[in-house]
Structure 1
Amino acid sequence: MVIIMKDFPSCFGENGVQVADSSSSSSSSSSSAAKAAQNLVTCVYQCKLHGRSCLITVTWTKSLMGQGLSVAIDDSANQCLCKVDIKPWLFSKRKGSKILEVDSGKIDICWDLSNARFGSGPEPVEGFYLAVAFDQEMMLLLGDLKKEAYKKIDTSAPVNSDAIFIAKREHIFGKKFYGAKAQFCDKGQMHDVIIECDTVDLKDPCLVIRIDSKTVMQVKRLKWKFRGNHTILVDGLPVEVFWDVHNWLFGNAMGNAVFMFQTCLSAEKLWASQSIFDPSVLTWSSSQKFRDHQVQGHGFSLILYAWKHE
């Protein structure tokens, strides 16, 4: 079984994550990686720029310094057109805007999180908006304060943007249970995802994945099957689940496992087209082939990095 995850734009280069054998890393580097992961969620949306396809990457962060936000726009040639970092705030920068000149036009990025309400993660739940527009035409609009966003952009009569949610990456933490909220397709139903795996003092640990409290996957003899893939059904759609728990079982205490949920695309067809296979690597980087599948609306990817709290 082979796993190579090559997908999203060049803007992600500095955030690429690789899971490798413990022999290639030390406990100090793993500890640093865990601290760097902090509380971070990255979402990717397919949008239109001048009628051409582009990707907008939104990263929400939460740390001791407060909330943070980053917006990157990547064109159809995998080139990063622009990137705006809104540093963590405590009492400022919860509301603002940026105007950028790009591609013979003007990109407006506006946000208002002054009254935003958050759950356990860094993503706001309600009471906010984040808007991205090109020449006053809305490309991406997130949040429930849509009227306020259109007033800020000063665009024509409000219409729904045609942005499509195609990927999400999230860091989750736990000892035995790891939870996340997830949609498995654009505008799909929200589900509770629970990953259960107890590796402490067990000779034969087991991996269990539940969707909305229903067990959809169970892997026994995990020390022999620490990497693999399995197809489940969610909302009537086939979802391919890939896992790599090598660091949990054989790495240091701060190691993380990686889980990828991929809808619609057949993993066999996708991976068979790749010329280089390395079962010890599961990365988030750039590949035109996989990106083309995503842009055509044929799949959604959810990647979860599960960090173990001792």
Structure 2
Amino acid sequence: MSNHFAGAVPFSIPKPPPAPKIRENQTTTNIAAPQSSVTFVYQTKVAESRRSVTVTWSKNLVSHSFCLTVENSSEENNFTCKIDFKAWQFWGKKGLKSFEIDRRRVDVFWDFRQAKFDTTPMPCSDYYVVLVCRQEIVLLLGDLKEEAYKRTRSKPLLEEAALLYKKENVCGKKVFSTKAVLDESPTEHDIVIETSLSGPGDPEMWIIINGTTAIRIMNLNWRFRGNETVTVNGLPVQIFWDVHDWLFSSPGASHGLFIFKPGNSLEFTSHSDPDDNNQHKETPSREFCHFLHAWKEN
């Protein structure tokens, strides 16, 4: 297991997709954490070309929302389908939207009428979202696959969509939970981050995978940034953390950053973020990567 202290990380600190922007009229002493959200970026074949498809699930106290964006040749013409649905509303939970990319029709089908939710922004069961082009399903989300095939009357694409990265915003006081793909299996693993930032002892942090403590970081005031390699199901996983702002910024002003990536290397390719012309985001050059933004509640 390798460990690197603040200021001695052997690779340049990667910058993940930026967190939601803070309103200008908010002050650094009274900043609300963003709503819980999780974003998946896939690559699949749409209209004869490999394109990125971004799927974002969000929730607040009263509703959930879903947003799907398909990359077009011109960034200004990306197609976006957004659905807001509340527990007491039935309309809008099943639908279809169509658009054109390179003169080819693309359809988005969805059915959330029976969808079940737990504590996360995305449904845990009984739903589907389907992206169809030329009678081929190029992206299928959810567990109601038979219903999706029956409704769309389409066949699956021979090459499945590839998941490039996952980005998640979670809020909590001392404990943050997430799920991530950490090995060759598509099954996600349970990850819990526990913190003890105040009290008689030095601040500490634990990163727990599938109920077992993978990393314990003591003297967090000095080790607020670093990375280690752990083993999950016999395979290496790189874990990077940066919790400087938890310790040295105003409460709620910023988030802790965690990156989980299967494999021994942590390689990134930089490109500009369309949501902010002044920032760049880093996405993995070849393999899946999970970005976690952990916002501490006051």
Bucket of the pairwise TM-score, normalised by the shorter protein: 0.7 to 0.9
* Matched residue, 1:263: 262
Shift of 1:93: 1.2
Could you tell me which amino acid in structure 1 is paired with residue 224 of structure 2?
F
* Matched residue, 2:6: none
Shift of 1:80: 6.0
Matched, 1:74 2:71: yes
Could you tell me which amino acid in structure 2 is paired with residue 66 of structure 1?
S
CA distances 1:232-254 after superposition (whole Å, capped 9, x unpaired): 12233322111111111111121
4+ long deviations beyond 4 Å: 75-80, 158-161, 283-287
Normalising to structure 1: TM-score of the pair? Answer: 0.79
3-state DSSP of counterpart to 1:27: coil
Could you tell me which amino acid in structure 2 is paired with residue 303 of structure 1?
F
* Matched residue, 2:226: 228
Residues 16 and 281 of structure 2 are in contact (CA less than 8 Å); yes or no, is this contact kept in structure 1?
A: yes
Distance 1:202 1:103, change over 3 A: farther
* Greater Cα offset, 164-173 or 54-63: 164-173
* Matched residue, 1:244: 242
* Matched residue, 1:162: 160
Equivalents in 2 of 1:143, 1:266: separation in Å?
31
RMSD: 2.8
3-state DSSP of counterpart to 2:124: strand
- Structure 1 residue runs of 5 or longer lacking an equivalent are 8-15, 20-24, 275-282
Equivalents in 2 of 1:185, 1:74: separation in Å?
28
Matched, 1:3 2:2: no
Equivalents in 1 of 2:231, 2:56: separation in Å?
28
Distance 1:128 1:53, change over 3 A: same
* Matched residue, 2:172: 174
Report sequence identity in percent. Answer: 33
Matched, 1:206 2:208: no
Match of 1:27 among 19, 26, 29: 29
Shift of 1:202: 4.9
3-state DSSP of counterpart to 1:247: helix
The structure in which a higher percent of residues are strand is: 2
Distance 1:53 1:77, change over 3 A: farther
Distance 1:186 1:285, change over 3 A: farther
Matched, 1:93 2:103: no
* Matched residue, 1:44: 41
Map residues 84-163 of structure 1 onto 2, 5 A cutoff: 84-90=81-87, 91=89, 92-156=91-155, 162-163=160-161
Equivalents in 1 of 2:55, 2:168: separation in Å?
12
Residues 72 and 79 of structure 2 are in contact (CA less than 8 Å); yes or no, is this contact kept in structure 1?
A: no
The structure in which a higher percent of residues are helix is: 1
3-state DSSP of counterpart to 2:38: strand
Matched, 1:17 2:19: yes
Equivalents in 2 of 1:219, 1:284: separation in Å?
30
Normalising to structure 2: TM-score of the pair? Answer: 0.81
Shift of 1:152: 2.5
